[in-house]
Chains A and B, each alone.
Chain A
Amino acid sequence: MQSVVRIERLTKVYEEGEQQRVVLDDLSVEFSSGQFTTVRGRSGSGKSTLLNLIAGIDEPTRGQVMIGGRSISQMGPRERAHYRRDNLGFVFQFFNLIPTLTVLENVSLPSELSGRSEAESHARAAQLIDQVGLNGREADFPDRLSGGEQQRVAIARALVEEPVLVLADEPTGNLDRVTGEVVLSMLEELIRERGLTLILATHSHRIAQLADQKWALVDGKLEPDDETPY
């Protein structure tokens, strides 16, 4: 299976006062195309850092993230932004919707950034809004929606440009269990029907069970997730 992302000897160290905290320690791993991968770890284990490094919104201390044979850290800020725009969809734990844009405007944003016309962007967005079950809420502002609805908007936004890779950082971490399950199954369904690659960071053992490939992040190292509770 073709790899989408290859991580080579990736290390991230945070300076905390005079102390150094190694969050990711010499990681090397490949994420395959069309696979649903989970990275499981407890809070503060470095899951979000790993996703941020893959997305190119954080800089590694050492090592590199290779996408399509190119190292992200060798890209300039502009190139990295374009890489995200053209290849990536991001779903955050706290939704990160633009509060002053409506549902339709939020979802169509990546399309507009890709240079599509407003009409075309809105048409694509409307289709996805329908698919995530928010038909009729297009004109609402995010704060008018429940947590689950907001995350559905975030999923629609992540998928609107049909990205190669979707990164989801604790997408159900801020939702109750039932809502979380609904959102997750929706995400999984949409990803699978499109054949997209999903890397999902979670602390949940149950979510990890859904994945094709499971990793656990323990003490800065990635190891196959043997579903051991921690």
Chain B
Amino acid sequence: MRPLIRAGIRDLIRRPLFSGLMLAGLTLGVSVVTAIDLASQSAARAFELSTDTVVGRATHRVIGGPTGVPEELYAEIRSGSGITQAAPVVEGLVSVLDFEKRPMRILGVDLFAEAPFRDHLGPELAFDPDFQQFFTEPGMVILGEELAAANQLAPGTELAVQVNDRLETLTILGIVSTFDSSDILLMDIAAAQELLGASGRLSWIDLIVEDPGSVEKLRSQLPSGLSIISSSQQRETADQLTSAFRLNLTALSLLALVVGFFLVYNTMTFSVLSRRSVLGTLRSLGVSGEQVFAQVVLEAALVGLAGSLLGILLGLLLAQFALALVTRTINDFYFLLTVREVTLTTRIAVKAIALGVGAGAMAAIVPALEASRVPPIQVLRRSEIEEGARVWAPRIGLIGLVLTAAGSALFMLSDESLARTFFGILVVVLGLAMMVPLATQIFMRLFRPLSTRVHWRLAVRGVTSQLSRGGIAIAALMVALSVTIGIALMISSFRATVENWLNITLYSDIYVSSPAVIGNRPQANLSPSLEGRLAQMEGVATVEAIRTVRIQGEFGELDLTAVDPRRVRDAGIYRFASGSASQVWDRVREGAVVISESLVFRHGTENALVLETDAGPRTFEVVGVFYDYSSDRGTVLMSREIYLENWDDPALSSLGVQALADEGVDDLAESIRAELAGTGLAVQDNQEIREEALRIFDRTFAITESLRILAVVIAFVGILSALLALQLERTREYATLQAIGLAPEGLEKLTYLETALMGLSASLLALPVGLLLAMILIHVINVRSFGWTIQLAPAIGPFLQAILVGVAASLAAAVYPVSRLRKMPIAAALRGE
């Protein structure tokens, strides 16, 4: 085998252009998958570190309602429950004005109870004589060295922060190496309570309990409205929340690899064809078909290995970019996360190599089979292959049809499993790709009567007669273009749906809120007196007080928004409502709730919902399901009066202000800004909020857009390599055409026409497939991933764009082959040199 491998490797080296293109396709494919893996894993790791910093070695946590846990409970647990290891924690968000209003987490702890839980302080700080200021001075914070280094912070530096509706100053007391998280500011518990306006309240109490009996005993003793959850439950929640988002990204990145796979198939087929006489000679020298097969597969696997290694390097670079996009989305939609660096783990590296080598080797199987069947000495007949391709096109098309049907059945029947849904879609895409050669044949047959000019006729004939090669390139381009159409249509439909939804839901003229917003929800506790203060202002018609909190329900954590039910919401926000809009709000006033469709999707609840109130669990009747695209966690909408009856939490999260009919909104917003000067609160009019929401929307899909563009780039490399392969293979043919009188520009025209026809076929075939993919993404993937209903918004743009990209990419890919043809010496080419 060794001489065979040597010959194969030398062949790859002697064709740097083709080997390079094959390598480029694999490298790009692997790099995209690796980049997404790295970004996703780094985000998960950062979250883990952040959670570890907060959770530490705690095994359980006592939690309460929106206002947390009463302070006295801590003393009761330590003295009366038999649990000795307990630590109180106060947590809250501030936005640091010096870091462009970046949200950070205040973690207030009792250092005397901390030791068994968290290693916050290194010995160097604990023995510092100035350290006592941590307990005696307000606003003293300790932070991690990574955060300090990134922002050039030193002890003594002051940080201006926005806390609820106040501006405060914090002072850095110390910098420690024991903090892995970059988004935490550590404070003494009393100072934190004062800062966050949570006197007498704790966010939670951490426990270390080995004995399950003690947990149950404490659970039974807890006052109503409080509960115990395990730390693992808490970690899982975050993982579950982002898993659909991460799986969607992985699936998209795999699409890039699929396109790369086509590329390898194409190049290896070319490589086999161009070496058929050598392979025939080898066979005549006694090399078996199996050995030839193994050699071709091994060659592709070697290129796959090289592609994987380069892909990992490129992936590391791309990951920096992807990471920023992924963490921004997690911050916008889920929770606070700061992560700056990507770390290559063995698992990701092994996966990348396995994918690259596997894709390379698998793509080479068919060409390798073709090579192993080369009879000794006799040359593989090109016409037989093409004739075979023409005969096989309908059969392969039929197999494609069966695969499409099987894939459709798979994703339609697997309602729960997102992974199976994606696999089903992959099978559908593969099935549709297999129908491409047949569809191209049909297209060309339709084009033929239109072809009165000789070049046109030759081009149409050329595309049909090169189906064994061109068909793969057309299929690869079709897949990439249909993905482009599918994603673009999905994004534009989603955007149109969100825009429409914003029009319906943003009913106030002006909104007042704290800038510390995470996961689309204002986190601050604003003073209830603000409502009265704003209502008295000139030009204000009404003020709606809004409270947004995270509470415990029967299915775990969910978002609750308490609003004024006197304001009847537009009927358009309901997916389902029992009765008219005003009837629904009458019932909400009486104590019923309206829930978001994500909540229905996540937990299947439709009629009633149990929520953990201050007085213990209470069942609320559900009278409607509303569309909500701001979160996929699930939201409950209830009357603020009912909320106040059940939870002792008069604080506000935001306020909606309606201007008097004759009052200018801009002027009123200015007056409110003046009224609230010094509070740091954000006063935004309806238009600003809408624009901000759409900005968040656009950046959420920035990574999807990037993946879409990458798929087209890979397809472009694919079509280029296919064309080069075709041109090289047909050099003698082109020389003959010139020898019998085809002018050089005629040959160029013919090449451009052929490639344009290939691009056009791919684009036209991509139109229905793209629409189908968009429908699957909108009606299946989005619903199964996030529970959102999106209306398909018909748009002509993505289709026209795909045709343009398809034809332009094909024509651009023909530029280099044409320039080669221009320099081709006819006499030498005729001799087959």
Residues of A within 8 A of B452 (CB): 117
- A78 to B744 Cα, complex, angstroms: 6
Contact of A92 among B457, B737, B830 (CB under 8 A): B830
- Residue with the highest number of chain A CB atoms closer than 10 Å, among B454, B744, B825: B454
Q: Are A99 and B738 in contact (CB under 8 A)?
A: no
With A100-B465, A141-B383, A143-B383 known as contacts, the answer to whether A90 contacts B744 (CB < 8 A) is: no
Residues of A within 8 A of B744 (CB): 77-78, 81
Q: Which residue of A lies closest to B732 (CB)?
A: A96
Q: Which residue of B lies closest to A49 (CB)?
A: B827
Contact of A98 among B736, B741, B743, B746 (CB under 8 A): B736
Residues of B within 8 A of A81 (CB): 738, 741-744, 746
Q: How distant is A201 from chain B, measured CB to nearest CB, in Å?
A: 13
Q: Which residue of A lies closest to B465 (CB)?
A: A100
Contact of B454 among A90, A97, A115 (CB under 8 A): A115
With A96-B732, A143-B381 known as contacts, the answer to whether A112 contacts B454 (CB < 8 A) is: yes
Interface of chain B residues 433 through 471 with chain A (CB within 8 A)? 452, 454, 457-458, 461-462, 465-466
Q: Does B1 make an interface contact (CB < 8 A)?
A: no
How would residues 813 to 833 of chain B score, 1 for a CB under 8 Å from any chain A CB and 0 otherwise?
A: 000000000000111001110
With A57-B827, A92-B830, A101-B465 known as contacts, the answer to whether A113 contacts B742 (CB < 8 A) is: yes
Q: Does A157 make an interface contact (CB < 8 A)?
A: yes
How would residues 730 to 749 of chain B score, 1 for a CB under 8 Å from any chain A CB and 0 otherwise?
A: 00110111111111111000
- A118 to B456 Cα, complex, angstroms: 11
Q: Are A110 and B740 in contact (CB under 8 A)?
A: yes
- A96 to B383 Cα, complex, angstroms: 14
Q: How distant is B383 from chain A, measured CB to nearest CB, in Å?
A: 4
Q: Are A90 and B742 in contact (CB under 8 A)?
A: no
How would residues 187 to 217 of chain A score, 1 for a CB under 8 Å from any chain B CB and 0 otherwise?
A: 0000000000000000000000000000000
Q: Does B662 make an interface contact (CB < 8 A)?
A: no
Q: Which residue of A lies closest to B386 (CB)?
A: A100
- Residue with the highest number of chain B CB atoms closer than 10 Å, among A52, A81, A92, A141: A81
Contact of B384 among A98, A143, A158 (CB under 8 A): A143
Q: Which residue of B lies closest to A167 (CB)?
A: B739
Q: Are A85 and B826 in contact (CB under 8 A)?
A: no
Contact of B741 among A58, A86, A117 (CB under 8 A): A86
Q: Are B740 and A113 in contact (CB under 8 A)?
A: yes
Q: How distant is B79 from chain A, measured CB to nearest CB, in Å?
A: 91
Q: Does A148 make an interface contact (CB < 8 A)?
A: no
Q: Are A90 and B461 in contact (CB under 8 A)?
A: no
Interface of chain A residues 142 through 180 with chain B (CB within 8 A)? 142-144, 157-158
Interface of chain B residues 382 through 432 with chain A (CB within 8 A)? 382-384, 386-387
Q: Are A157 and B740 in contact (CB under 8 A)?
A: yes
Q: How distant is B747 from chain A, measured CB to nearest CB, in Å?
A: 9
Q: Are A96 and B738 in contact (CB under 8 A)?
A: no
How would residues 617 to 632 of chain B score, 1 for a CB under 8 Å from any chain A CB and 0 otherwise?
A: 0000000000000000
Q: Are A100 and B740 in contact (CB under 8 A)?
A: no
- A100 to B381 Cα, complex, angstroms: 10
Residues of A within 8 A of B741 (CB): 81-82, 84-86, 88, 110, 113-114
How would residues 68 to 88 of chain A score, 1 for a CB under 8 Å from any chain B CB and 0 otherwise?
A: 000000000110011011101
- A58 to B735 Cα, complex, angstroms: 12
Q: Are A57 and B739 in contact (CB under 8 A)?
A: yes
Q: Does A65 make an interface contact (CB < 8 A)?
A: no
How would residues 88 to 110 of chain A score, 1 for a CB under 8 Å from any chain B CB and 0 otherwise?
A: 11101010111111000100011
Residues of B within 8 A of A100 (CB): 382-383, 386, 462, 465-466, 733
Q: Which residue of A lies closest to B453 (CB)?
A: A115
Q: Are A82 and B826 in contact (CB under 8 A)?
A: no
Q: Does A55 make an interface contact (CB < 8 A)?
A: yes
Q: Are A85 and B742 in contact (CB under 8 A)?
A: yes
Q: Are B732 and A77 in contact (CB under 8 A)?
A: no
Q: Are B383 and A118 in contact (CB under 8 A)?
A: no
Q: How distant is A114 from chain B, measured CB to nearest CB, in Å?
A: 8
How would residues 119 to 162 of chain B score, 1 for a CB under 8 Å from any chain A CB and 0 otherwise?
A: 00000000000000000000000000000000000000000000
Q: Are A143 and B382 in contact (CB under 8 A)?
A: yes
Interface of chain B residues 665 through 712 with chain A (CB within 8 A)? none
Q: How distant is B420 from chain A, measured CB to nearest CB, in Å?
A: 42
Q: How distant is A85 from chain B, measured CB to nearest CB, in Å?
A: 2
* Interchain residue pairs with CB less than 8 A apart (19): A78-B743, A85-B741, A88-B740, A89-B740, A90-B739, A90-B740, A92-B830, A94-B832, A96-B830, A98-B737, A99-B383, A109-B737, A112-B454, A112-B457, A113-B454, A141-B386, A143-B381, A157-B740, A158-B740
A84-B739, A96-B735, A105-B461 known; 6 other A-B pairs, CB under 8 Å? Answer: A57-B735, A81-B744, A96-B830, A99-B386, A99-B733, A143-B381
Q: Which 3 A-B pairs have the closest CB atoms?
A: A85-B741, A100-B465, A141-B383
